[in-house]
Structure 1
Amino acid sequence: MTIQPPAPDRRWPVRRQDRTPLRLDRRRIYIVPSRAGMGWAALLATMFFGALNYMNNAALLLTCELATSMALTMVLSFRNLYWLELQSVSCRQAVAGEPAMLQVQLASSGRRRHRLQLDAGLQPSAWFGLAANLRPEPISLPVRFPSRGWHALPPLQLRTRWPLGLFTAWARLRLTEKILVWPAAEPAGPPLPMQAQHLQPSLPQHRPTHSPDMLRKYRPGDPPTHIAWKLLARSGEWHAKTSPASHPPDQLALHWSLTEGLPHEARIARLAHWLHQARQSGLAYSLELPTLNLPAGRDDRHYASCMNALACLP
């Protein structure tokens, strides 16, 4: 994942921006009665006025005890979020239009937490609890980005209705970090272009000295169709047929000009498709773009560099 902090926003007014790590203090936590809490409050009000009307001290005492219990649940709901620590937010590499997983690391700060709910916008939420002194596993949230390029992380909303569901306490976090989203590869794209360059071999290969009849000594793993059966029957020696033209190209050059005639985003999708094919085939490949030239490589870091370059194209 590539994350970049955004430039400061000079507009007024400015929404509060949050940076990790952070702790939820009293200024970040909001609490309101739920529907059950509103119904409970209406019931207590009815009981209170009924007890006053009939001068029933026992009913008044019961009403006051229930009201006290309701106030205590409000405090417990607030404390279930208070001083909760958001340690980090990360994301596995996201591709435009495809689901990605947002990894959120929380810590309980020495207190046990019950029935917490975390979501990122309109995505499905996660329910979890946190132990007092144990480091919990990261919480996974599915996210989706519609297009390539830099995107702000979706706002996180943390809620709880513990213990009785009479109050909803929540905190909304707007993170300043941004994530670089890779372009989606062209579906059912064409095979790799034929402009492959035979340069120096990028992988050590066994290149035997070929005899005039294009035979070499047998190596374990050679397919039976390549074995020289007639020579084996005459001499008893194992040989395999070979041809120098059967070796695949060692290095592939991918140019921006190879996608000429397509729309801009379609050209990027075509190159992303070829990069994926070259990675799967094990070839070393280079990438030439209007703004950047990347030398040949074949490892995961080189693939990520090429995809990052495509994602950052204007």
Structure 2
Amino acid sequence: MTALSRALQRRTLKWLEKRIPASQRFALDLKSVFIFPSLFGWGFIVVCGSLFILGTNYQNNLMLLLCYFLLSLMLITLFVSYQNFAKLHVRALPVTPVYAGNHASLTLQCQQPGKPKLSDGLFTVTWWQQADGITCELAEHNGHLTLPYFTTNRGLYPLPRVTLSNEYPLGLFRCWTHLDFNQTLVVYPTPIPCKIAFQEEGHDEGSNTTEQAGHDDFFALRSYIPGEPVHRVAWKHVAKGGDWVSKEFSQQQAKMGYLSLPATDDLETALSKLAFQVITLSEQRIAFGLKLGRQTIEPDSGDNHKHRCLTALARYAPVGAIA
């Protein structure tokens, strides 16, 4: 049964890929919305059928009238349920990378252009084939729904489809859709505190710092260049009748070098220690590179460089292993 269930799930996903292709935003319509009676709705249909049989058998016009009234109400509910759910515009905000063991969050932004208020009723959001999710009203959260995604191991994880459903107004029908926002979650290794194993290259031994332009210590005065920030102007010098000059600053920075996998630890521990070193050097604004197997990232600094190095650690697999 398990193999049959997996095969059926694969067939369903392939069908959904054609019917509702992956996208960053969706405008729900007839093609992407599914509607079917809920469990309560099927019970309602059984009651209507019973009233019809009783009314016909005993020739009771009041029972038949009640049956027709309930069926009419159900048909109107079908129309209202679809109108409330369709025309909803849904887009996913970029998912933020996390460290292994923490939970990520996918935030959906729901809007209904041209309407004074958002759709009514409780909306339920779950991951594909998952029972647990969140249930809330769109108006209470300004159209934002945040769905958690729990992680245990490092890596790159394509996020599954998101199921969005609603049973407004009477719970007789369930409207739902399965949306693929084509997003990949990056899970960094969990940092483990350790010493910085920084391998300096291209410099003489005996000195470990260099001077570069920065914001820490006063270095010298130079001629003012039009367009520079005015807070760098040496106003005391100008007030004494001197020419406009700008103050230059310098900061101490460690020599550029590389981080690499320590050979004394197992792979996951080594990657976690590297993650701690990457974070520490980035916070200290020290330029560094990363040597990881056959991949070499040249020395740099900044948030983009930090993300690039941590992503390389997240997706790293030894040669011959399956990534």
The TM-score with structure 1 as length reference comes to 0.71
Between 121-130 and 78-87, the greater mean CA deviation after superposition: 121-130
* Per-residue deviation, 1:85: 1.5
Q: Count residues with an aligned counterpart.
A: 257
2:312 paired residue number: 309
The alpha-carbon distance between structure 1 residues 61 and 137, as it changes in their structure 2 partners (threshold 3 A), is: closer
2:162 paired residue number: 156
**1:120 equivalenced with 2:127 (yes/no):** yes
The alpha-carbon distance between structure 1 residues 52 and 150, as it changes in their structure 2 partners (threshold 3 A), is: same
The alpha-carbon distance between structure 1 residues 49 and 143, as it changes in their structure 2 partners (threshold 3 A), is: same
Contact in 1 for aligned 2:271/2:313 (Cα 8 Å) = yes
Q: Which runs of 5+ in 2 are unaligned?
A: 1-12, 201-206, 220-250, 318-323
One of 184, 199, 208 as aligned partner of 1:198 = 208
1:233 paired residue number: none
* Per-residue deviation, 1:300: 2.4
Distance 1:14 1:129 in 2: 29
Distance 1:114 1:205 in 2: 56
* Per-residue deviation, 1:137: 4.8
Distance 1:82 1:307 in 2: 40
Indicate the SS of the match to 1:91: coil
1:179 paired residue number: 184
**1:101 equivalenced with 2:116 (yes/no):** no
Indicate the SS of the match to 1:150: strand
Contact in 2 for aligned 1:252/1:283 (Cα 8 Å) = no
* Per-residue deviation, 1:29: 1.4
* Per-residue deviation, 1:144: 2.5
1:30 paired residue number: 34
Distance 1:206 1:26 in 2: 65
The alpha-carbon distance between structure 1 residues 63 and 30, as it changes in their structure 2 partners (threshold 3 A), is: same
The alpha-carbon distance between structure 1 residues 100 and 251, as it changes in their structure 2 partners (threshold 3 A), is: farther
2:237 paired residue number: none
2:79 paired residue number: 75
Distance 1:107 1:147 in 2: 34
One of 261, 264, 271 as aligned partner of 1:261 = 264
Distance 1:146 1:113 in 2: 35
**1:43 equivalenced with 2:52 (yes/no):** no
Code of the aligned partner of 1:274: Q
Distance 1:14 1:285 in 2: 49
> Max radius of gyration: which structure?
1
2:67 paired residue number: 63
The alpha-carbon distance between structure 1 residues 15 and 38, as it changes in their structure 2 partners (threshold 3 A), is: closer
The TM-score with structure 2 as length reference comes to 0.69
* Per-residue deviation, 1:248: 8.9
Indicate the SS of the match to 1:125: strand
Contact in 2 for aligned 1:254/1:285 (Cα 8 Å) = no
* Per-residue deviation, 1:251: 4.8
* Per-residue deviation, 1:44: 1.4
Q: CA RMSD in A?
A: 3.0
Which has a greater percent of strand? 2
- After superposition, the C-alpha distances for 1:251-291 in whole angstroms (9 at most, x for unaligned) are 5744215x1132333322110022223344x2514022141
- After superposition, the C-alpha distances for 1:7-33 in whole angstroms (9 at most, x for unaligned) are xxxxx9564132122211212211222
Distance 2:198 2:271 in 1: 19
Distance 2:216 2:61 in 1: 95
Distance 1:23 1:270 in 2: 45
Distance 1:94 1:40 in 2: 46
Distance 1:86 1:207 in 2: 52
Distance 1:147 1:179 in 2: 15
